[in-house]
Amino acid sequence: MERKTIYLCLAHMSEEGLEQKYIKEAFDTNWVVPLGPNVNAFEKDLEAFVGQDKKVVALSAGTAAVHLALIGCGVGPGDEVCVQSFTFCASSHPIKYLGATPVFIDSEKDSWNMDPELLEQAILDRKAKTGKYPKAIVPVALYGMPYDSTRIMEIGNKYGIPVIEDAAEGFGSRFKGQVLGTFGKYGVLSFNGNKMITTSGGGALICQDEEQKNKIMWYATQAREAYPYYQHEEIGYNYRMSNICAGIGRGQMSIVNDHIAHHKHVQARYAELLKGIPGIHLHEAPNADYDANYWLCTITIDPEVRIKGQENAYKETVKSAVGGAAGVIHQVDSPTTDCQPNDNVEALRVFMLERKIEARPVWKPMHKQPVYADCPAYVNGVSEAIFKIGMCLPAGPMVTDEDIDYIVESIKSAIEK
């Protein structure tokens, strides 16, 4: 029997078929628009899940949530925003949408997330250089691992800078028992097809209160003034979630705790099976304060580990997108850049792919991306070092214990004795 491909993380529908039930209701009642009963109910479900008396706005994407949170913090042309460098581009691109400048902050080595001490140094240095403080701080829950919410909030409050928590990968993760996204002024969630739960595509923004929520919804629905005709005095956006997508989200909320439990189970099984493989290290929570959802499980590979086929790494350019749903890429002339994973990491990726296992390098730090070459960056070498040796392993709800056994055996097989 031909083996199935094991993907990093794919959506899984509820066994009760609640997603189809709510979608059918939307069609039956003709609520096939960016508002409706499913949207309202999904927001209520999310509010109950995150707690802390927060309010939630359902949106078309997590990127839209970042964009609107920045607007809510008053970010505009000429401003600066401190953002974690070790992240996906959706954390930083919206800063540029607004004509502002990202100030990239490197990571601490244990959590892989924003280094609070480096953050404070950057804030003071930007004030000295520009005469004003950054307009916002954006920490990121990388692969579901919490950031040090206590220290980051202390620093934000000390200098009067609002915190936008990018918990797109950290839905359901907690720091000291509190759900990520509920510490700062705003919290960003994502429901892309590969996240902890999905609405096929979508996101949400956690707000502090009803007034803040209403302001965000106003921006998300083209910022229309209260006249019987369309009057616009500020720029708005078409960012609300559709009633159809929200119906999927409602069904997914019935199994969100099962998904989180499964990801933690996968992490624990990797920890057991990878133990004792020389040169392979599973990234784990620094201590009990960090309750990660383990959206993806990640490993690091020592540089001296030799992988079969390593001599052929980076010999050919990539012809199609690697991993995820991004199907359109620019062709390149050279297979290498000045900052890339080690040859053994690339060789292991190719080795695993040949065995129908999707493994992927960790995010390339934003301060090493050509598009951000001119942006300020406060670095300590941590994220660049991890990028050279890091790899993501499958962890989604479709990944079985048998799959994990096969993945670990494949890693063992890939290592040259």
Whether 28 shows a pLDDT value over 90: the answer reads no
Number of domains in the chain: 2
Of 255, 281, 297, the domain-final residue: 255
In this prediction, residue 317 has a pLDDT band, given cuts at 50, 70 and 90, of confident
Q: Answer yes or no: is pLDDT of 325 > 60.
A: no
Residues 165 and 139 sit within 8 Å (Cβ to Cβ)? yes
Average the pLDDT over 58-67 and give the result.
98
Instruction: Select from 260, 191, 244 the least CA-distant residue to 30.
Output: 244
The owner of tokens 């990726």 is 349
Q: Whole domain around residue 143: which residue ranges?
A: 18-255
In this structure, of 13-27, 293-307, 365-379, the range with the lowest mean pLDDT score is 13-27
- DSSP 8-class letter at 308: T
191 to 170, 251, 410: CA distances (angstroms): 11, 13, 30
Q: How many residues does the chain have?
A: 417
The verdict on residue 12 lying in a domain is no
Question: Is residue 137 within 8 Å of residue 82, measured between CB atoms?
Answer: yes
Q: Within this chain, do residues 28 and 74 fall inside the same structural domain, yes or no?
A: yes
Across 370-384, average pLDDT: 98
- Please tell me the predicted confidence (pLDDT) of residue 173: 98
Within-domain flag for 10: no
pTM: 0.95
Q: Are residues 266 and 230 in the same domain?
A: no
The per-residue pLDDT for 1 is 55
Helix (H) or strand (E) holding 174: strand 174-175
Binning pLDDT at 50, 70 and 90, where does residue 326 land? Answer: low
What is the pLDDT at residue 332?
87
Retrieve residue 315's tokens.
Answer: 């010999």
Cα(20)–Cα(251) distance, rounded to whole angstroms? 8
Question: Model confidence over 208-255: pLDDT tens digits?
Answer: 999 999 999 999 999 999 999 999 999 999 999 999 999 999 999 999
The reported pLDDT for the residue numbered 48 is 98
- Clarify whether residues 129 and 221 are in a common domain: yes
CA dihedral of 107, 335, 6, 361, whole degrees rounded to 10: -10
Residue 4 lies inside a defined structural domain of this protein? no
Give 115-142 pLDDT, tens digit per residue: 999 999 999 999 999 999 999 999 999 9
The CATH number of residue 152's host domain is 3.40.640.10
Domain boundary among 255, 286, 312: 255
Q: Name the pLDDT band for 321 (thresholds 50, 70, 90).
A: low
273 with 369, same domain?
yes
207 shares its domain with 342: no
**Pick from 169, 166, 168, 198: nearest CA to 185:** 166
- Are residues 249 and 300 both part of a single domain? no
Q: What is the mean pLDDT of the chain?
A: 95
What is the arithmetic mean of pLDDT over 22-32?
Answer: 85
Per residue in 272-287, pLDDT (tens digit) is 999 989 999 999 999 9
Q: In terms of domains, do 98 and 198 share one?
A: yes
Give CA–CA dist 209/330, Å, rounded: 43
- Give the model's confidence band at 2: pLDDT under 50 very low, under 70 low, under 90 confident, else very high: confident
Tell which residue, 363, 370, 367, 391, has the closest CA to residue 381.
Answer: 367
Q: Are residues 336 and 355 in the same domain?
A: yes
Q: Model confidence over 159-194: pLDDT tens digits? A: 999 999 999 999 999 999 999 999 999 999 999 989
pLDDT of 30: 82
Mark which of 230, 255, 280 sits at the end of a domain.
255
Given pLDDT bands bounded at 50, 70 and 90, which one contains residue 327? Answer: low
Residue 100 included in any domain:
yes
| Beta strands across the sheet bearing 360-361 | 280-282, 297-301, 390-393, 360-361
> What is the pLDDT averaged over residues 63-78?
98
- Looking up tokens 């993907």, which residue turns up? 7
- Helices 401-414 and 343-354 cross at an angle (nearest 10°) of 130
Whether the CB-CB separation of 192 and 40 falls below 8 Å is answered with no
Q: What is the percent of the chain where pLDDT is above 90?
A: 88
Indicate whether 308 belongs to any domain: yes
Helix segments in 230-365, DSSP class H: 243-253, 256-274, 343-354
